[in-house]
Amino acid sequence: MMRAMRLCILSRGPQLYSTRRLVKEAENRGAEVEIVDPLETSLVLGERNGQVIHRGWPIQADAVIPRIGYSVTSEGVRVVRQFESQGVYVANSADSILQSRDKLTASQILSHQGIPVPRTALVTSWRDTERAISRVGGVPCVIKASQGTQGNSVHLAHSIRDASELVYRLLANRETVLVQEYIRESHGRDVRVIVAGGEVVAAMRRVARGREFRSNFHLGGQVEAIELMDEYAKVAIRAANLLGIEVGGVDLLEGRSGPILLEVNSSPGLEGIEKASKINVAGKIIDMISQRHRIQSTDLQEVIRRRSGHGALTVRIKDWPEFIGRRIKDVQMGESRALTLLRGKDHIWSPNEDLVLQPNDELVIYGEIASIRAHMQRRNTASEERF
Ligand SMILES: Nc1ncnc2c1ncn2[C@@H]1O[C@H](COP(=O)(O)OP(=O)(O)O)[C@@H](O)[C@H]1O
Ligand SMILES: [Mg+2]
């Protein structure tokens, strides 16, 4: 028989609804659960994989659920990173927490991959406010801090003057400030989707109280059950996957032409969603983790860089027209290997060396960076000499 899963919940609030629910559901399933305050841990490095120490003892865990509050992001994330490097399954990786927590970073990653986000501008001086507003579609517009939560640093500005003042104040607070298109048709409401392990677990609509435009539960927003449309589910899952979030709350606005992604929360609250959907969300999260904790997800970046001097480079065939119609093995050099070929929307992993290159292909080559570059440079000079 398999021994019980040892689960560590990183949380500063053992009494919080979400923490209590996760503990209860895990214990119901026979797991051994320990709640650990990340601020009460110490880390030991330098001996093999290192350790996370709590009350004098190294934590022995098979899986970790990080429930890291915003005010302790860096303290929490370094503990998560330590577990990751020990090969312990973490429900959200350190990088995914950091990426999703910064609204600008998250929007950059997501919009680059075609997820619809509100038009957003970064401003670094209040004097740029007016220009930024015209780029995102005029007033009213939304002014927000890139790293706020629970609606704390989100404002609706009705005039350029209001907006400039808000920008000035946030910048004085040393915030990263965003000017954002106001999605009028979604005023006071949004859709929260809980995604776990790449699947939708539950969804609800949140409706703001009175004239408030922010629908956050912590600002008194009402929650209601919804039947989630397919398009919304797809965007939510894709957004979580792109940010590497395995357990998260995805916030979507209901735009005129479909879902618009606002943010992805790595420690979503469970109270509102369990109440609205009547689904055992905590139980589903624990189920997912107990199925998956024996396979640790892999940080490809880290794998690729493990050999010193080695890495991955992209050769865009349109920049190297002489390769069009040639085979991969004619391009490959020395010890280097083609990791993957991007062709249209497809990934061809470990492509066959006899595959013939097309004009829009992008070839990702793994090997010793310096020698690949030198080789390409030689080719370049050779082809220039030809003309
Ligand atoms: N661009 C926008 N258009 C319309 N409503 C918005 C917009 N941005 C935020 N909101 C409202 O404000 C709430 C809080 O904004 P959000 O960006 O999620 O910040 P927080 O991280 O503080 O929750 C959202 O749930 C939504 O109701
Ligand atoms: Mg939000």
- Asked whether the predicted pLDDT for residue 308 surpasses 60, the reply is yes
pLDDT at residue 258 is higher than 90? yes
Distance 214 CA to ligand 1 centre (A): 6
Q: Crossing angle of helices 103-112/230-243, nearest 10°?
A: 110
Inform me whether the pLDDT recorded for 387 exceeds 60: no
- Which atom of ligand 1 approaches the CA of 118 most closely? 1
Lowest mean pLDDT among 16-20, 115-119, 253-257, 302-306: 302-306
pLDDT digits (tens, 9 = 90+) for 58-93: 999 999 999 999 999 999 999 999 999 888 999 999
pLDDT at 130 exceeding the cut of 70 = yes
Residue bearing the bigger pLDDT, 270 or 373? 270
Share of the chain above pLDDT 90, in %: 82
pLDDT interval class at 358 (50, 70, 90): very high
Q: Can you give the length of the chain in residues?
A: 387
Q: What is the residue-wise DSSP string for 19-41?
A: HHHHHHHHHHTT-EEEEE-GGGE
- Taking a 5 Å cut-off on Cβ, the residues next to ion ligand 2 are 251
When the pLDDT of each residue in the chain is averaged and rounded to a whole number, the result is: 93
Structure confidence at residue 293 as a pLDDT band (50, 70, 90): confident
CA 140 to ligand 1 centroid distance, Å:
14
Task: Indicate if ligand 1 lies below 6 Å from the C-beta of 263.
Answer: yes
This prediction has a pTM of: 0.86
Tell me the domains of the chain and their CATH numbers. Answer: 6-99 (3.40.50.20), 119-182 (3.30.1490.20), 188-292 (3.30.470.20), 300-386 (3.30.70.1450)
**Helix (H/G/I), strand (E/B), else coil: 181:** strand
- Tell me the CA–centroid distance for residue 93 and ligand 2, in Å: 20
Q: 383 pLDDT exceeds 70?
A: no
Is residue 154 within 6 Å of ligand 1 at its C-beta? Answer: yes
Name the residue type at position 156.
L
The answer to whether residues 247 and 285 touch, using CB atoms and an 8 Å cutoff, is: yes
Question: What band does 373 get if pLDDT is binned at 50, 70 and 90?
Answer: confident
- Band of the pLDDT at 297, cuts 50, 70, 90? low
Whether the pLDDT of residue 386 is over 80: the answer is no
Residues 6+ apart with CB under 8 A from 157: 139, 140, 141, 142, 143, 163, 166
Q: Of 215, 265, 205, 219, nearest to 240 (Cα)?
A: 265
Is residue 214 in contact with ligand 1, taking CB distance under 6 Å?
A: yes
- Of 121, 118, 116, 80, which Cα lies nearest the Cα of 98? 80
pLDDT, tens digit (0-9, with 9 covering 90-100), for 151-207: 999 999 999 999 999 999 999 999 999 999 999 999 999 999 999 999 999 999 999
Give the nearest ligand 1 atom to 180 CA.
1
The beta strands (E) that lie in 135-288 are given as 141-145, 154-157, 177-181, 189-196, 199-207, 222-225, 247-255, 258-265
pLDDT, position 267? 97
* pLDDT beyond 90 at 47: no
Q: pLDDT band at 382, cuts 50/70/90?
A: low
